[in-house]
Structure 1
Amino acid sequence: MKLYAPSSSQGFALVTPAGTVLGHSYRASSDAAVESVFAGTPGLWAEKQKEGWQVLPVYARIVVPYFFPGDARQKDVVPS
């Protein structure tokens, strides 16, 4: 059985005025993080910054899932 060590990655994410980190905005650069949420509307990011939105550097922990082989239809047999 080969287990993979978890790793981490540094990037940028948007933070709401309430302090909530928007995980889906995680990107390699701050500009890309802003574009992921506020794309296509010029000037909207400047307005959001006045409301308290921020771009902060964050670390993301990447975990590789490990799936166990087997048959999901198989019933557990309990010896009696």
Structure 2
Amino acid sequence: MTSDGSGNITGSGKQTVGGQVSDAQFTGTYQINADCTGTTHLQFTGGVQSDLFFVLVQDGQEAMMLYEGPGVLESGNAKRVHTKP
């Protein structure tokens, strides 16, 4: 995924709809609070939407993420691998 520093995000990933796993592109928005916590809203191709909570750690080099939905709790992380000048 790529964030633009202005609250917009794009990327690709996996999605599960009705038990079927597929590749998907996504776009979305994010907000980071002064305490390094934040939220993001993602819109995947095919219409699936997801709201995630996250916290930035390691001086913003990593994000620990949490998704909570009906009967579902998922966690993950993302690490910075490239910084544009």
TM-score grouping bracket, smaller chain normalisation? under 0.3
Greater helix share, structure number:
1
User: What TM-score does the superposition give when structure 2 sets the normalisation length?
Assistant: 0.22
CA radius of gyration, larger in:
1
- Give the structure-1-normalised TM-score: 0.22
